[in-house]
Structure 1
Amino acid sequence: MSTKRSPIQTGLAWTLAAEMRAVFRKLKLRYREHGSGNDLTASQISVVLRLEKDGSATVSGLARVEGMRPQSMSAIVAPLQESGLVLGVPDPSDGRQTLMSLTPKCLKWLQDGRSARQDWLATTISQKLSVQEQEKLRAAFELLKRLTED
């Protein structure tokens, strides 16, 4: 059995991929607009999300997983500490190291931002799409999930 695709199928897939990329980019931008406002850089957001996901880490450990020099990571972490989003405490297993972790203020900021974005998206869906269209969107997401399965 041949798995070769016809040019029509390939062209349609190419068009769908381009349209999906454009729509998802625009949705991502709109989604960000409706979170709690922030002045964080992309690198700072990456560090905050990394600490949230993986837990406490040293600056050198963060630098390693983010693929940068420890000095560069220090420059990213310092404003996060100054703004009260990240706290450094001595590593109990090695007092020479400092473990960076998220503060309760940061965790609340993350939660509030996610809640605001979720509220905006749910409201937008309910206002702009009929119940039938919402069901179609649900079906489309089943197909999108299949695209991301390994």
Structure 2
Amino acid sequence: MPRDQFAPVSASAQRLSVDLRVIFGRLRRRLLEVTDSDDLTPSQASVLARVGKGEAVTASGLAAVERVRPQSMATLLASLEQRGLVVRTADPTDGRRQIVGLTEDGRRRVDGGRAAQEAWLPHLMQERFTEAERQTLLEAVALLDRLTE
């Protein structure tokens, strides 16, 4: 929907929108730094994580959840396959589709990255926020979750 079709918003809603995008972008970059994925682009790291979580098992499904064209996903998957992180096989029920899975190296990469993130973020929150601040953040996260419903 074009932006001019939306109803006017308050200054606080506009500011919050901008601030959240900036903060989430920074947090995402920091999480990628922690996972030691310097050799992967953010798109490659995201696809690898989605495959690891089982969010999508086909190339077309991954394209849909990543909101990219199927041709772009094919390029991303080819690069991950060349690195030995994913494997693509024909779907036994539909030869036109490809099933995407992690290789052993891909699984180690995803699991290691997840473990690093799970250790880093709670430590940082423990160090930088008081208990009261953490409770406030929990309440804010519940509100933010409503944006995704």
Q: Calculate the TM-score normalised by the size of structure 2.
A: 0.70
- Structure 2 unaligned regions, length at least 5: 1-7
Q: What's the secondary structure of 2:55's corresponding residue?
A: helix
Per the alignment, residue 119 of structure 1 pairs with: 119
Paired residues of 1:88 and 1:101 also in contact (CA < 8 A): yes
Per the alignment, residue 138 of structure 1 pairs with: 138
Paired residues of 1:36 and 1:109 also in contact (CA < 8 A): no
Which is worse superposed, 27-36 or 46-55?
46-55
2:12 partner letter: L
- Higher relative contact order structure (alpha carbons within 8 Å, sequence separation ≥ 6): 1
- Where in structure 2 are the equivalents of 1:18-29 lying within 5 Å? 18-29=18-29
- Where in structure 2 are the equivalents of 1:86-105 lying within 5 Å? 86-89=86-89, 92=92, 99-105=99-105
Q: Measure how far apart 1:121 and its partner are.
A: 0.8
Q: Measure how far apart 1:30 and its partner are.
A: 1.6
Paired residues of 2:31 and 2:117 also in contact (CA < 8 A): yes
Which is worse superposed, 20-29 or 85-94?
85-94
String of CA shifts for 1:66-89, please: whole Å, max 9, x gaps: 41438x82x433332232212244
C-alpha distance in 1 between matches for 2:84 and 2:122: 31
Q: What's the secondary structure of 1:13's corresponding residue?
A: helix
Paired residues of 2:37 and 2:45 also in contact (CA < 8 A): no
* Rg (Cα) greater in structure: 1
Per the alignment, residue 5 of structure 2 pairs with: none
Is the counterpart of residue 67 in structure 1 residue 59 in structure 2? no
- Where in structure 2 are the equivalents of 1:4-15 lying within 5 Å? 10-15=10-15
Number of corresponding residues: 137
Across the aligned residues of Structure 1 and Structure 2, the Cα RMSD in angstroms comes to 3.2
Paired residues of 2:47 and 2:62 also in contact (CA < 8 A): no
What percent identity do the matched residue pairs reach?
Answer: 31
Per the alignment, residue 53 of structure 1 pairs with: 55
Per the alignment, residue 77 of structure 1 pairs with: 77
Per the alignment, residue 31 of structure 1 pairs with: 31
